[in-house]
Chain A
């Protein structure tokens, strides 16, 4: 299993541009989440999904959209990039059950100029 994969690894955008960060998992996990991590800080939840077709907002959802058309994929869309969205983005997945152990991808480092 590849686990949780994220593309791209690095991205530079200009203010106002849009883009999609890709996240995929091959573990058949129901739950998937997006976090952002700013320098020197812990991760903050952006959006999450409890299954295909179901998404909800986390702590910092503004400026981001998500959709979950398949179990495997959970893309994160930046509608109009702003410098405040410069961050490292992590995707995670977990299996429904008693442990709720989350598996994280390697991250996407995004810089908005």
Chain B
């Protein structure tokens, strides 16, 4: 699986958009970009994933660059409850990597009042 690079920490004001970047310059054509988050002491929570196109769900939006070498997770209106560690993971969605995630250090997002 391709490796990812994320900033170690970011701050965001409550109510503003939080934009979390992720670099994955070695991503291959069949690999997806997944985002999970981990709120303090809890199990990780799936947020969103995508292959090529931008994706949006009730939690967030995922913007993937055209060359797929980087992506941005957007939380449109951050709240204090969004304070967490955010993990960007690149992996093949099937085959031998199914059911396995490789976590990096992630980005600690702190949302402040």
**Contacts between the two chains (Cβ within 8 Å), count:** 66
Q: Is the interface of B mostly helix, strand, loop or mixed?
A: loop
* B101 CB within 8 Å of chain A: yes
B residues sitting closer than 8 Å to A (CB atoms) are 32, 34, 36, 41-46, 49, 87, 91, 93-94, 98-106
Determine the distance from Cα of A16 to Cα of B78 in the docked complex, in whole angstroms.
46
Residues of B within 8 A of A106 (CB): 42-43
For B44, the chain A residues whose CB sits under 8 A away are 43, 90, 92, 102, 104
| Residues in chain A within 8 A of chain B (CB atoms) | 4, 31-33, 35, 41-45, 48-50, 58-59, 88, 90, 92, 94, 96, 98-107
For the complex of A and B, 10 pairs with smallest distance between CB atoms: A104-B43, A42-B103, A31-B99, A43-B103, A101-B46, A100-B93, A104-B44, A90-B43, A48-B99, A94-B99
* Selected contact of A102 from candidates B32, B94, B99, CB within 8 Å: B99
